[in-house]
Amino acid sequence: MARGWPHHAMLRRVSSYAVKTIILLFVISFLWLQLRVVNLKPDLFMPLKSQYNDPELTFFANYSAIVNSVNATTPANIKLLLDTIEELNALQDVNNVDKFGPLNDNDVVIVIQVHNRAQYLYALIESMKQAQNINQTLLVFSHDLFDPHINALIQRIDFTKVIQIFYPNSIQLHPNEFPGHDINDCPRNMKKEEALKRNCNNAKHPDLYGHYREAKFTQTKHHWWWKVNHLMDGLHITQNHIGPVLFLEEDHYVAPDFLYILRMIENLKITKCPQCNILCLGTYVKSYNYAAFSRKIEIVKWLSSKYNMGMVINRNLWEQIKKCAKAFCSFDDYNWDWSLQHVSATCLPSPLTAMVAIAPRVFHIGECGVHHRGKDCSSDRVVHKVMKVLSSSSSYLFPETLTVHQSFRKPFKAPKGNGGWGDVRDHALCCSQVKNFSFYC
């Protein structure tokens, strides 16, 4: 017994060392795996369903590699950044013209409003890449933020013509002065009486709910309005373009047949609805039934809350809207679509009438955005849902014919504004972005 005890003790020590070594190796392996997952950009990282032949994993495979390969630097100060953006806007370089040729009169111009959500934009670009006839379009990316990662995604596009434009009155370029937030601007919730005593910049001009402007909200309407004006009357390649102009945003996603359906609706408009002046490829439906609705087009009075996604207009309608610049720019609502609704109801010769694809070809994937309040915000979840919807409905896409029916709805009143746009400085800036603004505003 006396001789056996050291032997058993040694075995226990060896066993203890082995267990500790195993635990240490496990901890190291676990930490290594965690670091690997972080490097895969977890917001777009999906649990592995299989090692091979997973189209969803393939779809997102390049995103991390692209953004991680970019030297994420911007010009060192505001002056250099302003000079850079002025130079880019002046150059008006169009990529891939040598490959795809000039813009033809009836080609589709697709203008995409971009802020800072590169993951959504990546999904949109990948969806457009799969679309039929995308090589016969011009993509115009309009930015209110200079971001190297986003620029890298766009500069890699090789499937059609591309141009980038940059909103010159962005918060990024004016962080401490209007149209950004001036330190002497009145706080949003300050009472007017207190604001007048303090003599802050916009004390006399709260919105219709008694609140003062917030730059992060006013910028979206300013950017939208500048973008359309610059596209129609400023860009050399589009200033005389008479073909369709499709409006998308960075958090949209398109079906493979979105351009095909656009052309079919255009042809149908000639005979079925010559009075229609706006087309709409996206709707906010909660469930998708392509078997029943893929071929169906609805004629409706345009409503901003339902038909603001995937809108298509032409130059004739734009000339009418531009004449209503004062109505758009002075309406007390920080949303461009509600402001356009006000223009439709109060200023245009007749309210906007839309032809709408009941089964959407443009989808909203942007749960994570300016107005998102909840904690459950995953940019990949909705993308994968839309991918599955389109995959399961692929046999119903590209229909040979379309059918039209008209919806009869009660007349609607001109909308009351949501506020956020009471500051006369916003009215003036908005008007100044219109060519010959003194005539229209």
Query: What CATH number has the domain bearing residue 254?
Result: 3.90.550.10
Residue numbers belonging to the annotated binding site for substrate: 113-117, 144, 219-223
440 in a structural domain: no
For the chain, what is the domain count? 1
Q: Which of 143, 169, 151, 142 minimizes the C-alpha distance to 231?
A: 142
What is d(CA 297, CA 357) in angstroms, rounded to the nearest whole number? 5
Render 270-288 in DSSP notation, one character per residue: HHH-TT--EEE-B---SS-
Instruction: Give the CA-trace dihedral at 160, 393, 117, 173, to 10 degrees.
Output: 50
What is d(CA 314, CA 369) in angstroms, rounded to the nearest whole number? 29
321 in a structural domain: yes
Report whether 372 contacts 316 (CB < 8 A): no
Report whether 139 contacts 131 (CB < 8 A): no
78 in a structural domain: no
Q: Which of 344, 297, 295 minimizes the C-alpha distance to 323?
A: 344
Phi, psi of 248 (to 5 degrees): -125, 170
Report whether 150 contacts 116 (CB < 8 A): yes
300 in a structural domain: yes
HEC readout, 323-371:
CCHHHHHHCCECCHHHHHHHHHHHCCCCCCEEEEECCCCEEECCCCCCC
Phi, psi of 140 (to 5 degrees): -115, 110
204 in a structural domain: yes
Strands 362-364 and 296-301 turn out to be: unpaired
For helices 315-322 and 215-233, angle between their N-to-C axes, nearest 10 degrees:
130
What is d(CA 44, CA 120) in angstroms, rounded to the nearest whole number? 10
What is d(CA 171, CA 157) in angstroms, rounded to the nearest whole number? 27
Strands 278-280 and 362-364 turn out to be: unpaired
Which structure tokens are listed for 344?
Answer: 């439709």
75 in a structural domain: no
Burial annotation 297-323 (CB, 10 A radius, 16+ → b, else e): bbbbbbbbebbbbbbbbbbeebebbbb
Residue numbers belonging to the annotated binding site: 113-117, 144, 219-223, 251, 364
* Domain extent at residue 319: 83-368+378-433
Q: Which of 179, 190, 58 minimizes the C-alpha distance to 129?
A: 58
pLDDT (tens, 9 = 90+) of the chain, 441 residues, equals 444 443 444 434 444 544 444 444 443 343 333 333 333 333 333 333 433 455 556 666 677 777 777 777 777 789 999 999 999 999 999 999 999 999 999 999 999 999 999 999 999 999 999 999 999 999 999 999 999 999 999 999 999 999 999 999 999 999 999 999 999 999 999 999 999 999 999 999 999 999 999 999 999 999 999 999 999 999 999 999 999 999 999 999 999 999 999 999 999 999 999 999 999 999 998 889 999 999 999 999 999 989 999 999 999 999 999 999 999 999 999 999 999 999 999 999 999 999 999 999 999 998 765 444 444 555 678 888 999 999 999 999 999 999 998 876 666 677 789 999 999 999 999 999 998 877 788
Q: List, in order, residues 6 or more apart from 177 with CB less than 8 Å away.
A: none
At 254, which helix (H) or strand (E)? Answer: strand 252-254
DSSP 239: T
pLDDT number for residue 373: 46
138 in a structural domain: yes
Helix (H, G, I), strand (E, B) or coil at 311: strand
What is d(CA 261, CA 269) in angstroms, rounded to the nearest whole number? 12
pLDDT number for residue 19: 45
Report whether 221 contacts 215 (CB < 8 A): no
Residue numbers belonging to the annotated binding site for Mn(2+): 251, 364
Give the position of tokens 């004062």.
Answer: 326
337 in a structural domain: yes
